[in-house]
Chains A and B, each alone.
Chain A
Amino acid sequence: MGVIKKAMTGADAAAEAMRQINPDVVAAYPITPQTPIMHRFAQFVAEGKVKTEFVTVESEHSAMSACVGAATAGGRVMTATSANGLALMFEIVYIAASNRLPIVMNVVNRALSGPINIHCDHSDSMACRDSGWIQLYSENAEEVYENNLIAIKLAERVNMPVMVCQDGFITSHSVESMRVLDDASVRRFIGQYKPKHYLLDVEHPITSGPFDFYDYYFEHKRQQIEAMTKVIPAFYEIVDELGKLMGKHYETVEEYYLADAEFVVVSLNSTAGTVKHTVDELRKQGKRVGALKIRLFRPFPREDIAKYLRGKKAVAVLDRAATFGHVAPLYHEIRSALYEFPDKPRVVSYIYGLGGRDVNLGHITKVFNELESGTAQEENYLGVRDEDEP
């Protein structure tokens, strides 16, 4: 009973959460770019450890289409994908959100081709940031597990789909020590799913997915915008409950030594771990440095972010994705969140790690040093070759 310690990869952690959630339907494309999440989950299905209807389809476009169908019918539905798989889904990703279906999808963040690349990069989920999905990012395997449990409750509370993101290979394929809850606690926590309207409710028939022209489409988009404002309050209710079970405190963002920090690095996913470790090292030298990790990216928790970053001397935002023709996405949004405050810090951008380029303590130390010395430009690149190797 209670909390159990295990050794798992991020992919295993997602599959373990899915086993405990025991969704009605999982539809997924079973080969590349699929990750070990579905490999492991398929094993649970074969061993009879879940009652899930497991639909292996011929493409990610069909995977998300099957998820939309199953969720419309009234099921609790999950899937997983990565990189170009997510790109191929995109048309139906947008429809899932527009139809207000609480699907939960694990996204293993890997680079969008081309050129062809399969390594860690956030271009895949960043391309979906305006699709109407809630996005949770995970620093490590334990957060992948927790975010899956949060996602199920959150999706069903606000009738919106949720992506649970984790870093490709770095998190998805690395074994680490983590904690899970026992099956009974998870089932009590997530509860039964009772959709308000669903297609198989023959007593209250509905039409789903009809035409919606200039006379009503705008009103439905206005509803989606409003629904996103309900997510953060719902998130806090859910994580308070989970916090009691896991013995942890959760926020939409995680602050690290920010109380007296002057220089801050903001990041997503596994890089947050590297940043925190660098903060530990620099704190030993007496540097007033800190870190901010964004757990909930959509909706963007701008009030929580402003609360932690106002009054700091300088902030560097790390982006593992580029926006071609404008500044990087996380940087853009952090700057925008701080715009109205007179005590806003200097905020600079560092694009790093594209296509799986390694990022290490030396890189993060360099970022803190450049923040402190004031030598950081507005837009910087970490680890890209500006010159040919000699």
Chain B
Amino acid sequence: MKKKSWKSIPEGGIITTPGNSLKFKTGDWKTHYPEWNKEKCIQCLRCHFLCPEGAIKVKNGKVVGIDLDYCKGCGICADECPVKAIVMKKVGENGSD
């Protein structure tokens, strides 16, 4: 989402476009991001249940990936994974993976 200048935003910090939180990616402040290894994963779903942001994507009862737009990089998934199928990697200079 491109950021606007002080000249083109509403005064007083109000939001005049309801529902625009959908455009706000909350994961841009992480320093480390999780990398998921599909081959090692035993589909125990611990990461899915323990992720505080709901960023572990699950389809038909199986982990299918990680939503890095909303992952804040806390590392709980990697810490809890019993088979080390998730490891934390350092975020690049551009602020994302």
Contacts and interface: CB of A to CB of B under 8 A. Distances in A.
Contacts of A362: none
A208 B12 contact: yes
Contacts of A227: 11
A101 B11 CA distance: 10
A204 B16 contact: yes
Interface centre among A101, A204, A206, A226 (most CB of B within 10 A): A206
Contact of B18 (A100, A207, A216): A207
Interface stretch (B1-9, B33-41, B52-60, B63-71): B1-9
Contact of A159 (B4, B6, B9, B12): B12
Contacts of A223: 6, 9, 11
A159 B18 CA distance: 22
Interface string A203-246: 01111111010011011101100110000000000000000000
Interface in A96-150: 98-101
Contact of B13 (A159, A205, A216): A216
A49 interface: no
B15 A210 contact: yes
Contacts, number: 51
A215 B95 CA distance: 14
B25 to A, nearest CB: 11
A39 interface: no
Given A219-B5, A220-B6, A223-B6, A101 B12 contact: yes
A206 B11 contact: no
A210 B15 CA distance: 8
Contacts of B11: 100, 159, 220, 223, 227
Contacts of A51: none
Contacts of B15: 206-208, 210
A215 B5 CA distance: 10
A283 interface: no
Contact of A220 (B3, B9, B18): B9
Contacts of A357: none
B14 interface: yes
B92 interface: no
B52 to A, nearest CB: 18
A277 interface: no
A197 interface: yes
Interface in B15-52: 15-16, 18
B12 A219 contact: no
B10 interface: yes
B76 to A, nearest CB: 23
Q: Give the top 8 A-B pairs by smallest Cβ distance, nearest first.
A: A100-B12, A219-B6, A207-B15, A222-B6, A99-B12, A100-B11, A212-B13, A205-B18
Interface of B: 3-6, 9-16, 18
Given A207-B15, A220-B9, 8 more contacts: A159-B11, A206-B18, A209-B13, A220-B6, A220-B12, A220-B13, A223-B11, A226-B6
